[in-house]
Amino acid sequence: MATASPDKLKLELRRGVLVLAVLASLREPHYGYSLRKQLQGAGVDIDEGTLYPLIRRLAEQGLLDSEWKQGEGRERRYYRLSTLGTERLEQLTQEWTSLNSAIGPLLLRDPNEEQY
């Protein structure tokens, strides 16, 4: 029997949630590094190998707008939510809230509680 490692399970769980976290953070414009710092500050640790390709993928899907800007002597690419991204974020937030309220009690249930 193949057993899933804890790291793999954690990765699968985080994959969808990270999209939500990135979209929510990009209500305000950010470049890659500043976004990573913002997420880390909020307690969402994400390595650059995951974050930078993820932002590009979301931009390719039309969920983010991007533009190159000069600042502090060099250029940076800034991303922010597009109109489509804002719509999708609202839908995903509803889904997240609904899932969270359904799964929360399941996770907190006492295993010794009587089953029906």
Partner 1 sequence: MDMVERYIAAVQRELPEKKRDDIGRELQANILDQIEALEAQLGSVSDAEVAELLKTMGHPRTVAFQFCPPTPLVTAQLMPLYLHTLYMVLGVLFVISTIEVTGRWLGGTEMGLLLFMKGIASDFLASAYFAFTAITIGFAVMSRSRKKETTEVAGTCKWSPEKLPPAGKSWQYISLQDIFTELATLLFLVMLIWYPLWRADSGAQSLFTDDALTVLSWFTPVIVIGIVHSLWQLRTRLWSRPMLMLNISVNSAFLMASIVLLTGPVLKNSEAAWLDGLGAAIVDRSIQALLVGVALIVTYEIVRDIRRLLRN
Positions touching partner 1 (CB under 8 A) are 31-34, 48-50, 52-53, 56, 74-77
Between 57 and 109, name the residue whose CB sits nearer to partner 1.
Answer: 57
Nearest distance in Å: CB 49, partner 1: 5
Between 51 and 81, name the residue whose CB sits nearer to partner 1.
Answer: 51
Adjacency order of strands within the sheet including 74-81: 30-31, 74-81, 64-71
Between 16 and 104, name the residue whose CB sits nearer to partner 1.
Answer: 16
Nearest distance in Å: CB 47, partner 1: 8
Angle between helices 48-60 and 32-41 (to 10 degrees): 120
Length of the chain in terms of residues written: 116
Nearest distance in Å: CB 50, partner 1: 7
Between 47 and 114, name the residue whose CB sits nearer to partner 1.
Answer: 47
Picking from 77, 103, 79, 82, the residue whose alpha carbon sits closest to that of residue 17 is 103
Nearest distance in Å: CB 30, partner 1: 11
